[in-house]
Structure formats: structure tokens, C-alpha cells
Amino acid sequence: MRELLFLAAASAAGLLLGAIFFGGLWFTVRKGVSSRRPALWFFCSLSLRMSVALAGFYFVSGGRWERLLACLLGFLVARLVVTRLTKSSVEDRPRDTEEARYAP
């Protein structure tokens, strides 16, 4: 019973890590595209997001593969949630017309 509690906590931690990782990615893409230095935005964001995610996985797992797997599952569920939440903001933007792509 105690191990089940640890697995639930690991899943919740994975959700949080995934929300930070994929939410940060969404924020970076929105800011980086309009930035004067997009490479700096993307590189710093990747470094920070990967550091947080890897450190989180390391500490949450505690050397147990079951906790690591539960954390990874939560991380992937967070990816689905963030993708679904941010998809609506992408669909609200006007799409390019065929003629606009060939305009000088």
C-alpha cells in the first residue's frame, strides 16, 4: 500500500515536470519566433528545461525503476494535456492563403 502511494506521488511529479517542460517549450516558441536572437532563446530554454526534467526524474525515482516509470507516464500525460490546451491557441490564428505564400 505504501508503494502505491509513492507511485501516485511519482506520477504527480511527472505531471508537474511535464507541464514545466512542455509549457516552457510552448512559451519559448512563442517568444523565440519574434525575438531578435531566437537561437539564444531556444538554446537557453532547452538547457533549462532538460536540466529541470532530468534532475526531477533522478530525484523522484530514488533508484527505483517503478517510480521512474510512473514519473515518465505522468510526464507523457502532461505532454498530451499541454498539447491539447495549446492547440486551441494555434487554431485561432488566421492561416496563410495559397497566394500569400508566393507573395514577394
**What are the pLDDT digits (tens) for 40-84?**
999 999 999 999 999 999 999 999 999 999 999 999 999 999 999
pTM: 0.80
Position 89 pLDDT exceeds 70: no
Q: Is 103 helix (H, G, I), strand (E, B) or coil?
A: coil
**Average pLDDT for residues 74-95, to the nearest whole number?**
81
**Residue 60's CB: how many other CB atoms inside 10 A?**
24
**Average pLDDT for residues 25-53, to the nearest whole number?**
94
Alpha-carbon distance of 10 to 87, in angstroms, equals: 27
Strands (E), 1-104: none
